[in-house]
Structure 1
């Protein structure tokens, strides 16, 4: 567990999140710093997302997107964890009737699908490489 990580602190930070780029990036960097706790971060994000009003959910989706993009150099932990919860989150938001409410999640869904495919492809390549190492020994 990363030093200084606390689910309650994250929940407070998520409750103060707004749609400004600065607050999203600041919280994203904090989450990436605590990448060893990615499962707890995503679980907390998911519970906050489902409790949030529709207007705040877009900011939370932007946050998830920023975390996934900025955490790639730390490994695939966040991408794998978010891939478990993002489909249900997007499904709930895509039913919103206004264009903004549909377009933002659609862009994130497109990004998520692209990276889920890349994640699966990378996992497959890793397994193939591992298999070739064990068969060549």
Structure 2
């Protein structure tokens, strides 16, 4: 079936968010790759005209097209989308719901991670999204290459922010070199490879050695940056484990204090019910509580002073609690 503008519009009108629908329309579009430039323009026009809910589906369709093109090494659509993808993505992102925007961000993150578009194109895409986020009060930019790209980095994570950014940059720079070296290696070592004349073959092998060496150096750079980030994260983890131990001790101390106070409350209430005099009741209240204040940061601890003499327990014999059974504590 020949490609026509109306045929494309009909396909887009039938498009929904299901994977089957996106894959089906994507396959039809890929079949007509000779019209890639026209398809890209019609797609962008439809993005600008569509409702917010439809815009997310169109982004999913674009993702299907460009990723399939990249996997099949058919560059027609990648070249066609290069000039328009940043503008179209910004248009799709603007005015949609937070849920749809989060889903779009995940798609854009995948494009960055897989180097689907050239780096300058990817940066333009992220710049447009971030500008919309900045214009919205209380919204932090969600894109820019790193979890720590925002200026509002929590103080605990500030020490690893530079290493996280360095890792992202190293990883982004390494991916093209790794992809090129891998593809060339597979090509020259394939059983189907037609070996040229010895001089040409030697030249090809020499070029491959350089590409592998470049990929090797890039990979080593990524490993170094990742180790530095891990070391920083481990230091943060150790510090937080230490704080956690202190906080857990505080939690236990507060629980012990609460239990002791509740017990004392019951003793005082029992004394009141029993009709003891204020003096006798005060003697009960004056008995030191059997808990330590160390865990909650107090500067005094009963254990730090001289050992107290044993005294006779003044608490009256147990009787029914003042608080009725089933009442809130």
TM over 0.5: yes
Higher Rg: 2
Tell me how far 1:98 sits from its aligned partner: 3.7
Contact kept, 8 Å, 1:35 with 1:71, in 2: the verdict is: no
Question: How many residue pairs are counted as aligned between the two chains?
Answer: 121
Larger relative contact order (CA 8 Å, sep ≥ 6): 1
Contact kept, 8 Å, 2:56 with 2:104, in 1: the verdict is: yes
**Residue equivalent to 1:51:** 49
CA distance in 2 between partners of 1:104 and 1:96 (Å): 14
| Aligned Cα root-mean-square deviation (Å) | 2.5
Bigger fraction of residues in helix? 1
Contact kept, 8 Å, 1:96 with 1:102, in 2: the verdict is: no
Q: Structure 1: which 5+ residue stretches go unaligned? A: 126-137
CA distance in 2 between partners of 1:93 and 1:40 (Å): 19
Q: Structure 2: which 5+ residue stretches go unaligned? A: 122-175, 181-329
Provide Cα deviations, 1:78-117, integer angstroms capped at 9, x if missing partner: 1121122221122233344643221122122233442123
Seen in structure 2, the aligned counterparts of structure 1 residues 14 and 66 have a Cα distance that, compared at 3 Å, is same
**Residue equivalent to 1:26:** 24
**Residue equivalent to 2:36:** 38
CA distance in 1 between partners of 2:97 and 2:7 (Å): 33
CA distance in 1 between partners of 2:61 and 2:96 (Å): 22
CA distance in 1 between partners of 2:96 and 2:27 (Å): 32
Of 25-34 and 88-97, deviating more is: 88-97
Of 50-59 and 94-103, deviating more is: 94-103
SS in 1 for 2:118: helix
Contact kept, 8 Å, 1:35 with 1:74, in 2: the verdict is: no
CA distance in 2 between partners of 1:97 and 1:53 (Å): 9
**Residue equivalent to 1:115:** 116
After TM superposition, the score normalised by the length of structure 2 is 0.34
Contact kept, 8 Å, 1:90 with 1:109, in 2: the verdict is: no
